[in-house]
Amino acid sequence: MLKIVIAGGFGVGKTTFVRAVSEIEPLTTEEYLTQASAPTDNLHGVEAKDTTTVAFDFGRFSLDVPLPLELFLFGTPGQDRFVDLWYDLSHGAIGAAILADTRRLEASFTAISFFERISLPFIVAVNQFDGAHRYPEADIRDALNLPAPIPVLHCDARAATSVAGVLITLVDHALTQPTTSTTHAHTTLQDAQ
């Protein structure tokens, strides 16, 4: 069993990502946006959004690469005011998938800085929103100032096969990084063999 964090800015598709692959009915903490949140929840670029995650999303997904793995997916709330909760959600995780939206790439900066600061391996998955410009991976890497070892890929958070590809890439990346958080996961996988 491996814990995975799904992070990113407000409205980048984290809840949709978890729902797309979860083998159980996902637990979500979606609440309607209200006038009271208007000063803090900028809807620029996501004007149709009417709900937001206020605690976390949870789902489960199984992989068989090369051993059977059960992934526990924890989606974070996207607003900066919830970053303190990210510490709790990241505890015991082997890595994070940061979703990005090219229409609002700056919304990814907080998540990238957070996972760099806590030294948790992460990848960046650009969610391909309808009507959003498609940029080459190198341009996105430059815009986010990401070093070469961090994978950057494109995905459709609505499509289970696309999300599964992101999760496989993340697990592969996380388990090859020499960090404290992956040491337990390596031990667990070696014990399973």
- Residue-by-residue pLDDT tens, the chain, 193 positions: 899 999 998 888 899 999 999 998 876 766 555 555 555 555 555 555 555 555 568 899 998 877 788 999 999 986 666 778 889 889 999 999 999 998 888 889 999 999 999 999 999 999 988 778 888 999 999 999 999 899 999 999 999 999 999 999 999 999 888 754 444 444 333 333 3
Pair 65, 168: CB distance under 8 Å: yes
- Hey, what domains does the chain have and what are their CATH numbers? 2-192 (3.40.50.300)
Query: One-letter amino acid identity for 78?
Result: G
- Overall pTM surpassing 0.85 (yes/no): no
**How many Å apart are CA 21 and CA 36, to the nearest integer?**
33
Residues 6+ apart with CB under 8 A from 12: 78, 99, 100, 101, 104, 107, 108, 127
**How many Å apart are CA 166 and CA 125, to the nearest integer?**
7
Structure tokens at 61: 């997904």
